[in-house]
């Protein structure tokens, strides 16, 4: 097996971010250099708590976690308690984390680690782009220092999930997205950024059937509960990771049942991590993308020049297809396998 891929995850740890962290911890080809925190699904301080608690659940208390800027570059903070719950993890509850936050600011961690290993580090952003925007303002050479940037964000050929044409991560800090997209349009990069928008991430639809498979893979007895009730239907799984996943996802599934007409969950962020580790999971097209900042109805829209009318060089590889079935199989196998291993280690 080739050497593990070193990467940093920048996240706003809500439900699908927590699943992305579990997937990363369960992936043998991944070497997590650090995790940086930004406000989005919940406020940044809660993100930092959630992130450390989830990493400790996964047996990775060793990973450095850094807090970044707590407000967007220009706009006020927005959060999504109706989607992720008041503390960001749905119905799930975890012990308070033991490890303190890093002394480094998130932007400094990204810059310093990229300088330490130029051309080697992949940055995966699965939240608003505040920390990355700040990092490239502090270090304009950052795009050339990274091996690649992979992002979950934007809506390129589909409807938005926040406003009619905007996706949450871009919507929360469009100015930071504009800064990042412009910075990564410079020549001389090792690879164009890979962008996974709602066009592909909404194909990664996790259902109670997947949850049952994950529980069985872990050897959990009894299986989880993923009913459509309230807290009284909390998971009774014997395995801590299965119990956490089931309780977090039940809140997410109830949200999608109300607003999207199906009882399941789009697990956007784990797909982005999976594609960073194995780009063959998606097919992408090189296009030019900009961010609308002044629209009356469209601020935060990722405006994509599919017909090449601007005549500008492409600055993103936008995913247009994804092998969602293969990804979901991997998620079940890897996270279920991690859950099984940790229980065996503990016993």
Residues known to be catalytic: 268
CA distance 106 to 8: 10
Measured in residues, the chain has a length of: 347
CA distance 250 to 233: 9
Indicate the DSSP class of residue 90.
Answer: T
Query: Phi/psi of residue 296, each to 5°?
Result: -65, -40
Q: Which two tokens stand for residue 78?
A: 């927005």
Coil vs helix vs strand at 126: coil
CB distance 266 to 275 below 8 Å: no
CA distance 174 to 128: 8
- What DSSP letter does each residue of 208-228 carry, written as one string? HHHHHHHHHHHT-SSPP---S
Of the candidates 27, 273, 22, the one whose C-alpha atom is nearest the C-alpha of residue 148 is 273
Q: Which residues contact 82 (CB under 8 A, 6 or more apart)?
A: 255
In angstroms, what CA-CA distances link 134 with 213, 227, 232, 303? 41, 42, 43, 22
Q: Which two tokens stand for residue 165?
A: 């044409």
Coil vs helix vs strand at 154: coil
The residue to which tokens 């938005």 are assigned: 160
CB distance 198 to 161 below 8 Å: yes
């Amino acid at each position: 097996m080739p050497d593990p891929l070193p990467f940093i995850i920048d996240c706003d740890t809500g439900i699908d971010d927590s699943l992305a962290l579990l997937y990363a911890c369960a992936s043998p080809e991944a070497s997590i250099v650090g995790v940086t925190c930004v406000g989005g699904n919940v406020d940044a301080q809660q993100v930092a708590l959630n992130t450390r608690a989830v990493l400790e659940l996964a047996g990775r208390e060793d990973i450095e976690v850094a807090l970044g800027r707590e407000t967007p570059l220009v706009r006020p903070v927005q959060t999504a308690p109706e989607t992720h719950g008041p503390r960001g993890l749905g119905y799930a509850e975890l012990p308070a984390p033991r490890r303190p936050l890093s002394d480094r600011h998130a932007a400094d961690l990204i810059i310093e680690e990229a300088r330490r290993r130029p051309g080697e580090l992949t940055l995966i952003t699965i939240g608003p782009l505040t920390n990355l925007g700040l990092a490239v303002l502090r270090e304009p050479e950052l795009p050339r220092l990274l091996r690649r940037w992979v992002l979950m964000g934007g809506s390129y050929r589909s409807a938005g999930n926040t406003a009619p044409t905007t996706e949450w991560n871009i919507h929360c800090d469009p100015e930071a997205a504009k800064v990042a997209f412009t910075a990564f349009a410079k020549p001389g990069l090792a690879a164009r950024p890979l962008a996974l928008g709602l066009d592909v991430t909404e194909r990664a639809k996790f259902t109670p059937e997947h949850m049952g498979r994950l529980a069985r893979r872990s050897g959990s007895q009894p299986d989880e509960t993923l009913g459509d009730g309230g807290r009284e239907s909390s998971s009774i799984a014997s395995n801590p990771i299965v119990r956490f996943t089931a309780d977090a996802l039940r809140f997410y599934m109830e949200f999608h049942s109300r607003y999207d007409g199906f009882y399941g969950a789009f697990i956007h962020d784990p797909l982005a991590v999976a594609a960073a580790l194995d780009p063959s999971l998606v097919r992408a097209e090189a296009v030019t993308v900009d961010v609308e900042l002044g629209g009356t109805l469209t601020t935060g829209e990722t405006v994509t020049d599919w017909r090449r009318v601007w005549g500008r060089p492409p600055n993103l590889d936008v995913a247009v297809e994804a092998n969602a079935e293969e990804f979901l199989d991997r998620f079940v196998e890897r996270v279920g396998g991690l859950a099984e291993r940790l229980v065996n280690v503990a016993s």
